[in-house]
């Protein structure tokens, strides 16, 4: 029996990469016939001559795209065209946190900003740097791309962010041999390469990255309003100082988060986005 990592699933055949980087194709044993228990791209597995026989314990398990053991989600935010949106960014961060995956914030297309616009954005975003890594890049800026490419080393990454943010462009700029399609990908969805039955991790800078964007849709799925305080790491850290255990930071008195917002230790826009997401999740629950 050998150990390896599944890097591709196409038409029921798994491509497994061993420790030395050799790739072999294997099918899954009959005992994995239930979709729920079947091997996934990203899984570490034991395999023999014909079959994958064992799935090693998963660190996490994403459903869309179906990939296991993701180390990080690289969240690509457009600085302009479309405009930067803190609301979109906070929503994506909540989604990523809710899957127990580490987010990395990337601001792309900074070539479209003036010097002052960039400085303003950096100042507003500096708050996030206290709890997340933040990178400023453009597909035209080789030096900044080099710094970003190190992020992928030895990790399994998924990309996140709205369509048009430049996810495919950035991967291509880091490694032109990937030659991913740029522009309107929606037409290609559901056909050819990008069906759900084809999932693949691509080699990039000694790491692996999913070629299908995860978290490109803002669907909160099963997330409940009462979970939200855990998805804002900055709020969560303060919550031990709130008077009420399980404080939602909405209407409770003596709330440390609201106090920090009043003192401008937390930017008001970050809290406003929180309230909006909370109300959305709360309203969704009440509909059922």
Ligand X SMILES: Nc1nc2c(ncn2[C@@H]2O[C@H](COP(=O)(O)OP(=O)(O)O)[C@@H](O)[C@H]2O)c(=O)[nH]1
Residues near ligand X (CB under 6 A) are: 76, 108-109, 111-112, 138-139, 163-169, 182-183, 185
Identify residues 180-219 at the interface with Mg ion (CB under 5 A): 185
Q: Indicate which single residue of 28, 257, 260, 277 sits in contact with Zn ion (rule: CB under 5 A).
A: 257
Q: Considering CB distances under 5 to 8 angstroms, the limit depending on partner class, which of Mg ion, ligand X, Zn ion, none binds residue 77?
A: none
How many residues are listed for the chain in this entry? 288
Which residues, other chains included, contact 250 with Cβ-Cβ below 8 Å and sequence gap of 6+? 275, 278
257 binds, among Mg ion, Zn ion, ligand X, none (CB under 5 to 8 A by kind): Zn ion
Spatial CA neighbour of 205 closest among 148, 143, 139:
148
Q: How far is the CB of 58 from Mg ion (least distance, A)?
A: 27
Q: Assess 242 for contact with Zn ion (CB under 5 A).
A: yes
- Of 67 and 160, nearer to ligand X (C-beta) is 160
Strand segments, DSSP code E, in 88-206 are 102-108, 133-136, 156-160, 199-204
165: which DSSP letter? S
Q: Which of ligand X, Mg ion, Zn ion, none does residue 165 bind (CB under 5 to 8 Å by kind)? A: ligand X
- Are the beta carbons of 16 and 47 closer than 8 angstroms? yes
Least distance between Zn ion and beta carbon 134 (Å): 26
Q: How far apart are CA 32 and CA 250, in angstroms?
A: 45
Binding site for Zn ion (CB under 5 A): 242, 247, 249, 255, 257
């Amino acid at each position: 029996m050998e150990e390896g990592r599944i890097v591709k699933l196409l038409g029921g055949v798994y491509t497994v990469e061993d420790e030395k980087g050799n790739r072999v194709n294997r099918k899954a044993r009959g005992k994995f016939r239930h979709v729920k228990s079947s091997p996934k791209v990203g899984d570490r597995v034991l395999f023999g001559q014909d079959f994958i026989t064992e799935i090693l314990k998963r660190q996490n398990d994403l459903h869309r795209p179906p990939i296991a053991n993701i180390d990080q989600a690289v969240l690509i935010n457009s600085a302009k065209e479309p405009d930067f949106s803190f609301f979109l960014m906070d929503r994506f961060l909540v989604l990523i946190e809710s899957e127990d995956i580490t987010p990395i914030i990337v601001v792309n297309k900074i070539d479209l900003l003036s010097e002052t616009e960039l400085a303003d954005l950096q100042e507003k975003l500096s708050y996030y740097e206290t709890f997340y890594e933040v990178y400023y890049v453009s597909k035209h800026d080789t030096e900044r791309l080099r710094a970003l490419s190190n992020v992928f080393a030895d990790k399994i990454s998924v990309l996140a962010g709205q369509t048009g943010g430049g996810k495919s462009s950035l991967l291509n700029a880091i490694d032109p041999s990937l030659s991913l399609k740029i522009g309107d990908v929606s037409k290609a969805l559901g056909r050819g390469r990008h069906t759900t039955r084809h999932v693949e991790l691509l080699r990039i800078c000694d790491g692996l990255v999913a070629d299908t964007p995860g978290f490109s849709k803002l669907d909160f799925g099963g997330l409940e309003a009462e979970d939200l305080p855990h998805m804002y790491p900055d709020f969560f850290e303060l919550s031990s100082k709130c008077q009420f255990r399980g404080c939602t930071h909405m209407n409770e008195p003596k709330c440390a988060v609201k106090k920090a917002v009043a003192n401008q230790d937390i930017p008001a826009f970050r809290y406003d986005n929180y309230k909006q997401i909370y109300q959305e999740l709360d309203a969704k629950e009440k509909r059922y």
